[in-house]
């Protein structure tokens, strides 16, 4: 089936960038990205490309090229469902907060609502593409909802999980390691798979487009995230062992990463991984394993999250201990709030949890981040701290305006600009004794110590 009209439900961090690239590379296909959040759609349509709701290097250039030509953003969900041949479901799938599976299972209420709406509105045959990350066999549930609410049209379901990472999303979409498409092993199923393969083939080499059955595709997505997060927790757990033994985690990481069987990616120690997906996807995997009675498997994967929390807590404790032992003013400048560099996304950022630990110990914090707004920081903290008092947190637009007020700077995000700061000048102005807690090991510890700072990194002297 030749696709002429695509609708994508969900204009978030995945829907927006993914559809922008699909539209850019397929000028003959109309791509309508729809969302029930009118403010978000307004922001996607804003003339000033700096106001797009997602910050991603390279995104505004692609939006500029395709928007208004064959890429459109709209709140009219029904109209675009009806007019399309292919519908991507790219809505959020957060961890369930109540009911069966609370705290672990993925909440599929948004996915299910989309399926119901598609069934109710559709008058012609459609291919439904699961873009959201979902538990294995969700495609079956979607099929059930579609077929029980509309028997007049044919729906083919595909799984096409997204592997982009924020901050490098445009590059990841432009040159993906692989595109994964799962579908039914029937004539109609194969035809649907081919329609999606054709769309990606506009720019992705055919050998990088992998087709599988639906459930393998769904489970591969959860597995990929679990493997990536597992490497971070492994290296983070060893950073603590380095501190205890005098080994240096940067040296260990380099040494093992040069083994081609291990590889060097995702071996950077940190104050803990964040982002909207690693935690929720591992919780989901743990839930699925436990539901199948596989407790040992569930415990194995759950340990990744236990280490991640431990890393955030022990980093916080290092700061708290220094304040107490040295009798310093309980105030810290946090540099970085985003969960990684080059994104404005703060979901599950380690900074939130460290800030929360500091606030719970009556330590005041000032926060600077080049891409995160003050209201977002307040929102994040009020979510984790029930008695959150705005007055204990100050958002600063220029990080070093009040530098003489602090003894302690904590680096939370690896923004390039932090590495480029003139640390000599900062040292001259900061209150003494001066401490840098490097939650990303991005500064040259020897140089920083030479300047006069007390340097506390992770897993290194």
In this chain, which stretch among 34-42, 141-149, 284-292, 417-425 interacts with ligand NAD, using CB under 6 A? Answer: 34-42
Residue 162 is among the residues annotated as catalytic for this protein: yes
Residue 352 binds ligand UGA (CB under 6 A): no
- Name the helix (H) or strand (E) containing 5: strand 5-9
**Contact between 250 and ligand UGA (CB under 6 A)?**
no
Q: What's the CA gap between 4 and 255, in Å, rounded? A: 51
CA dihedral 41, 45, 51, 54 (to 10 degrees): 50
C-beta of residue 7 within 8 angstroms of C-beta of residue 80: yes
Instruction: Indicate which residue of 221, 268, 280, 331 is catalytic.
Output: 221
> Which stretches does DSSP call E strand in 146-288?
155-159, 179-183, 209-213
Q: Which does 239 bind (CB under 5 to 8 A by kind): ligand NAD, ligand UGA, none?
A: none
- The residue among 345 and 438 lying less far from ligand NAD, judged by its C-beta, is 345
From the list 22, 24, 35, 272, which residue makes contact with ligand NAD (rule: CB under 6 A)? 35
Contacts of 360 (CB under 8 A, 6+ apart): 385
Helix (H, G, I), strand (E, B) or coil at 367: strand
Sheet holding 86-89, edge to edge: 71-74, 30-34, 5-9, 86-89, 126-130, 155-159, 179-183, 209-213
Using the rule CB under 6 A, give the single segment among 95-103, 241-249, 264-272, 415-423 that binds ligand UGA: 264-272
Positions 295 through 354 that interact with ligand NAD (CB under 6 A)? none
Residue from 60, 90, 133, 279 touching ligand UGA (CB under 6 A): that is 133
Tokens, residue 326: 């040295």
- Out of 7, 277, 280, 340, the active site residue is 277
C-beta of 395: minimal distance to ligand UGA in Å? Answer: 21
3-state secondary structure of 151: coil
Beta-carbon contacts of residue 155 (< 8 Å; ≥ 6 apart)? 118, 119, 122, 125, 126, 127, 128, 143, 146, 147
Which of these segments, 196-204, 271-279, 284-292, 353-361, binds ligand UGA (CB under 6 A)?
A: 271-279
Q: Check the CA dihedral 32-37-38-41 and report its sign.
A: negative
x/- binding map, residues 253-282, to ligand NAD, per CB under 6 A? Answer: -----------------------xx-----
Q: Are the CB atoms for 116 and 9 separated by under 8 Å?
A: no
Q: Which of 110, 163, 203, 300 binds ligand UGA (CB under 6 A)?
A: 163
121-160: which residues touch ligand NAD (CB under 6 A)? 132-133
Residue 37 binding result from ligand NAD, ligand UGA, none, given CB thresholds of 5 to 8 Å by partner type: ligand NAD
Residue 90 in contact with ligand NAD, rule: CB under 6 A: yes
Under the criterion CB under 6 A, does residue 165 sit at the interface with ligand UGA? yes
Q: Which residues bind ligand NAD (CB under 6 A)?
A: 9-15, 35-37, 40, 77, 90-93, 110, 113-114, 132-133, 162, 164, 166, 276-277
Q: Annotated catalytic sites, by residue?
A: 162, 221, 277
């Amino acid at each position: 089936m030749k696709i002429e009209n695509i609708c994508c439900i969900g204009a978030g961090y995945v829907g927006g960038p993914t559809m922008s690239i699909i539209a850019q590379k397929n000028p003959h296909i109309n791509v309508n990205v729809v969302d029930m959040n009118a403010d978000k759609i307004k922001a996607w349509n804003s003339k000033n490309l700096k106001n797009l709701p997602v910050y991603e290097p390279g995104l505004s250039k692609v939006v500029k090229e395709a928007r208004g030509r064959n890429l459109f953003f709209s709140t009219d969900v029904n109209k675009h469902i009806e007019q399309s041949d292919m519908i991507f479901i790219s809505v959020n799938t957060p961890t369930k907060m109540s009911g069966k599976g609370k705290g672990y299972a993925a909440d599929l209420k948004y996915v299910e609502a989309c399926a119901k709406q598609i069934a109710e509105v559709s008058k012609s045959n459609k291919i439904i593409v699961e873009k959201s990350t979902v538990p294995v066999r969700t495609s079956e549930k979607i099929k059930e909802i579609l077929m029980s609410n509309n028997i007049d049209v044919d729906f083919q379901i595909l799984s096409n999980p997204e592997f982009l990472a924020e901050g490098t999303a445009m590059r990841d979409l432009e040159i993906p390691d692989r595109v994964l498409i799962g579908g039914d092993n029937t004539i109609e199923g194969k035809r649907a798979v081919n329609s999606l393969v054709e769309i990606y083939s506009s720019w992705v080499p055919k050998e990088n487009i992998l087709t599988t059955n639906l459930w393998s595709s769904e489970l591969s997505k959860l597995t990929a995230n679990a493997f990536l997060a597992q490497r971070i927790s492994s290296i983070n757990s060893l950073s603590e062992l380095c501190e205890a033994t005098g080994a240096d985690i940067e040296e260990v990481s380099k040494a093992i990463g040069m083994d081609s069987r291990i590889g060097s990616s995702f071996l950077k120690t940190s104050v803990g991984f964040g982002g909207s997906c690693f935690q929720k996807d591992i919780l989901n995997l743990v839930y699925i394993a436990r539901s199948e009675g596989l407790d040992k498997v569930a415990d194995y994967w759950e340990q990744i999250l236990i280490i991640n929390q431990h890393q955030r807590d022990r980093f916080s404790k290092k700061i708290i201990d220094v304040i107490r032992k040295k009798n310093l003013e309980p105030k810290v400048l946090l540099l970085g709030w985003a969960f990684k560099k080059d994104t404005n996304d703060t979901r599950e950022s380690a900074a939130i949890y460290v800030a929360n630990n500091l606030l719970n110990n009556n330590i005041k914090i000032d926060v600077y981040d080049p891409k995160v707004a003050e209201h977002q920081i307040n929102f994040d903290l009020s979510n984790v701290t029930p008695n959150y008092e705005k007055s204990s947190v100050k958002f600063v637009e220029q990080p070093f305006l009040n530098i003489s007020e602090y003894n302690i700077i904590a680096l939370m995000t690896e923004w390039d600009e932090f590495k480029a700061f003139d640390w000599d000048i900062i040292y001259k102005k900061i209150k003494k004794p001066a401490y840098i807690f490097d939650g990303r090991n991005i500064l040259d510890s020897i140089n920083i110590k030479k300047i006069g700072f007390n340097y506390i990194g992770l897993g290194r002297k």
